[in-house]
């Protein structure tokens, strides 16, 4: 294989699995990830974050960390100009893709924006994220937003533990999509399996954790930071959930686009082709199996199509979430 071709190979990534007090077994049972335990909460499928760093599986860059490739091979990500200059406004790989299995409720939480995180979290990115509901129990819900109408009411509800007044739950079903902007109070509830696309950040402020104990002690809360960053009033419930279960077959269907990412869904039946001019394309196979430009893929695979790939050919029967910047 000549040197040019290696830059068109998909970068398959070894996912990182995490153990969480609210996690379950679906990431092993449904996706086949080789991990023991009954508390597997997250699969960091595409990640260059030091708390869960992905490495390349196979190919010319086998064993390399994604963060390392970002530094040493910027051409893979469309990040080098004719004079060797960096083209993208990021000092690290900008996205992070997870699959999250919530057997029990996650804590009520909120994320800061870039400005607050840069000042208070050692220069970290803020955390803008979005969720695609892969599966859920009947009558499932997610916490999205809150009921406080102003900052004084927000502080009173939080400081006095008026959680039933404060928390807003919305019903969800398989195929729902939710954009979680910084400042949005949110929580994944038990029985929901999601794919999350987010900025490359691990900054989370816990507002409330149901008084649970971990190793005999309550988990740390971040009440001051939460009050600092929560948006008041919250975005309306009607604007919070969109549905993408039955999207057009053999088409790239954009679910959401903002300054941090563009996230689309692809339902492949048979074969399809599309051209792409993004710096790179991150892909997660939700279910089914097939081929991406001749490379075998199956449910649970996570990969990046490098910048050199301008024509994408998909064959098989599978559902895919793709993201780019």
The H-or-E segment that residue 132 falls in is: strand 129-136
pLDDT in tens, the chain (325 residues): 445 688 999 999 999 999 999 999 999 999 999 999 999 999 999 999 999 999 999 999 999 999 999 999 999 999 999 999 999 999 999 999 999 999 999 999 999 999 999 999 999 999 999 999 999 999 999 999 999 999 999 999 999 999 999 999 999 999 999 999 999 999 999 999 999 999 999 999 999 999 888 888 988 999 999 999 999 999 888 888 999 999 999 999 999 999 999 999 999 999 999 999 999 999 999 999 999 999 999 999 999 999 999 999 999 999 999 999 9
- Torsion from C-alpha of 255, 43, 92, 80, nearest 10 degrees: -70
Asked if domains 3-243 and 252-324 share a fold, the reply is yes
pLDDT given at position 4? 61
206 an active-site residue? yes
Contacts by 153-161, CB closer than 8 A, 24 or more apart:
154/227, 154/230, 154/232, 155/227, 158/207, 158/208, 158/223, 158/226, 158/227, 159/223, 161/208
pTM of the model: 0.95
Classify the C-alpha dihedral 146-151-154-158 as positive or negative: positive
pLDDT of residue 127: 97
Domains in the chain: boundaries: 3-243, 252-324
What was the pLDDT predicted at 2? 45
Q: In this structure, are residues 293 and 309 in contact, taking their beta carbons and an 8 Å threshold?
A: yes
Q: Which CATH architecture has domain 252-324?
A: Sandwich (2.60)
Query: What separation in angstroms does the CA of 63 have from each of 53, 56, 59, 284?
Result: 11, 5, 9, 19
pLDDT for res 215? 86
Q: Where are the beta strands (DSSP E) in 211-325?
A: 213-214, 217-218, 242-243, 252-257, 262-275, 281-292, 295-298, 302-305, 311-324
The per-residue pLDDT for 5 is 84
- The CATH code of domain 3-243 reads 2.60.120.10
Cis peptide before 233 (omega within 30 of 0): yes
Annotated catalytic residue within 26, 28, 168, 206: 206
DSSP secondary structure, 60-91, as one string: TTTT-BHHHHHHH-GGGGT---TTS---SS-S
């Amino acid at each position: 294989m000549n040197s040019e071709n290696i830059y068109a190979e998909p970068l398959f990534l070894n996912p990182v699995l995490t153990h969480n007090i609210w996690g379950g077994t679906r990431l092993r049972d449904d996706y086949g990830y080789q991990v023991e335990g009954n508390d597997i909460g997250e699969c960091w499928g595409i990640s260059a974050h030091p708390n869960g760093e992905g490495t390349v599986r196979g190919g010319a860059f086998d064993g390399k960390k994604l963060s390392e490739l970002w530094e040493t091979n910027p051409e893979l990500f469309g990040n080098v100009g004719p004079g060797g200059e960096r083209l993208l406004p990021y000092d690290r790989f900008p996205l992070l893709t997870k699959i999250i299995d919530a057997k029990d409720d996650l804590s009520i939480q909120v994320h800061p924006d870039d400005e607050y995180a840069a000042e208070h979290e050692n220069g970290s990115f803020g955390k803008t994220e979005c969720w695609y509901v892969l599966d859920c129990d009947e009558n499932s819900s997610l916490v999205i937003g809150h009921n406080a109408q102003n900052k004084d009411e927000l502080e009173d509800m939080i400081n006095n533990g008026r959680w039933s007044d404060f928390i807003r739950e919305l019903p969800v079903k398989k195929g729902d999509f939710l954009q979680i902007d910084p400042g949005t109070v949110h929580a994944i509830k038990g029985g929901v399996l999601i794919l999350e696309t987010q900025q490359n950040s691990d900054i989370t402020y816990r507002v409330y954790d149901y008084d649970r104990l971990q190793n005999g002690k309550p988990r740390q809360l971040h009440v001051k930071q939460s009050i600092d960053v929560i948006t008041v009033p919250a975005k309306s419930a009607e604007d919070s959930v969109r549905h993408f279960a039955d999207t057009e077959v053999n088409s790239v269907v954009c679910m959401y686009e903002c300054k941090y990412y563009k996230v689309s869904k692809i339902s492949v039946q048979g074969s399809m082709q599309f051209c792409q001019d993004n710096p790179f394309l991150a892909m997660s196979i939700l279910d089914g199996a097939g081929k991406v430009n001749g490379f075998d893929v199956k449910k649970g695979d996570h990969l990046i199509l490098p910048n050199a790939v301008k024509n994408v050919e998909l064959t098989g029967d599978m559902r895919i979430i793709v993201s780019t910047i």
